[in-house]
Amino acid sequence: MAVLKVKFTKTRRDKLAQILWILNWISVVTGVILFSLGLFLKVELKKREDLMAEKDIQYVPNMLIAVGLIACAINFLGGKICYDCVDSSKFLRWKLIMLPYIVCTFFFTLCVLVGALMCYSMHWELEEALNLGLMQAMRFYKDTDMPGRCFLKHTVDTLQIQFQCCGNSGYKDWFHIQWISHRYLDMSKKEVVDRLRSNVEGKYLMDGVPFSCCNINSPRPCIQQQITNNSAHFNYEHQTEDQNLWMKGCRQALLEYYTHIMQSIGLTVLITWLFELSVLTGVRYLQTSLENVLRQGDPDSESDGWLLENSLMETARTNLSIIKSLGKSNQINTANNGDPNIDVPSTSKAHYGPDNVPPKEKMETS
């Protein structure tokens, strides 16, 4: 029994073909949108690749770019097919192509769905890449005179000002990192020398942060040195008073920024998937209804269209039996090394005795 069978008159078939022609061209536009979204995401990730660990997180934008290009090609072909199918006589040129086209388009829609899910699943990989990348950038913050790292100070300062954040998880991350270069330390001061000697690794650690951590909205002048020393500042209590520093960590700020982008893109891709699925459903109805018209031989007659000719279980059994038969034939060909005549006995070298003469011939000659 056919699944979701619908009866079509000639007028309804023609209208369906016209509507699908328009929808396929709209799908071409959605393919361009997917391509643009993938390109936009790729550029946004590329902007801050210096703040991310070397992890393969470009697979999501690459997937969207590929899906967008394929969508343009598939739907352009679909528009041409539906345009010709308005005239049932032109359906013959596409009859053998439509079913493979529908199967390929079905698997393509699955790829679109996978792309939408990947947009939401990228969150954890992005968080790990940001965590490792930001910590590494902070460690190299002081290396302004070292090739390959001299730009990181500007990059981190710009990030903290633009996203109003400080450190990786918070401003206290700077307490555990030497972010001032040795070239700017006055080694003639006993305090500096003692601080360097007090650290096992010889690092100059202090309870201070770079200037870019300062909250520009604070009415009080920025306190970025000796943050935990209450006596170093007038009318100051670091445990109770609101800090005039950015309190949010840059990892959280960047993660929120990219998550908002990914969720918006994921929703767009999900809507595109639903739209592509509806177009594919219409093309399947058009294909089956036109094939039934050809069987009846009257182009003006009514015909049935369906999604599946048999029930889901019957279709699954049929496809499974086809796959099994293909597997068995492949095993036979492999066993025979591809030689179809391997089991055929050869008579060219038959041996009939010492005279090599068949018995009948031998009796006749005698």
Domain boundaries, the chain: 2-137+252-310, 171-247
Which residue, chain included where needed, has tokens 């936009």? Answer: 40
Q: Are 244 and 215 in contact (CB under 8 A)?
A: yes
Instruction: Please name the residue ranges forming H helices in the chain.
Output: 10-47, 59-84, 95-139, 152-162, 190-198, 250-296, 312-335, 359-365
Specify the pLDDT at position 314: 72
For residues 29-33, give the mean pLDDT.
95
- 297 pLDDT higher than 90: no
Specify the pLDDT at position 96: 81
- 225 pLDDT higher than 70: yes
Segment 317-359, tens digit of pLDDT = 765 676 667 666 655 555 555 554 544 454 444 455 555 555 5
**Amino acid, single-letter form, for residue 12:** R
Segment 36-51, tens digit of pLDDT = 999 999 999 999 988 9
Exposure of 97 in the CB half-sphere (CA atoms within 13 A): 13
Specify the pLDDT at position 329: 60
More confidently predicted of 273 and 91: 273
Torsion of CA 32, 37, 42, 48, to 10 degrees: 150
Highest mean pLDDT among 6-10, 159-163, 178-182: 159-163
- 233 pLDDT higher than 90: no
Q: Are 310 and 318 in contact (CB under 8 A)?
A: yes
For residues 54-77, give the mean pLDDT.
90
For residues 278-287, give the mean pLDDT.
89
Q: How many CB atoms lie within 10 A of CB 37?
A: 24
Specify the pLDDT at position 267: 95
Specify the pLDDT at position 53: 85
The rounded distance, in Å, linking the Cα atoms of 294 and 297 is 5
- 150 pLDDT higher than 80: yes
- 143 pLDDT higher than 50: yes
Specify the pLDDT at position 222: 87
Computed over every residue of the chain, the mean pLDDT equals: 83
Q: Are 119 and 60 in contact (CB under 8 A)?
A: yes
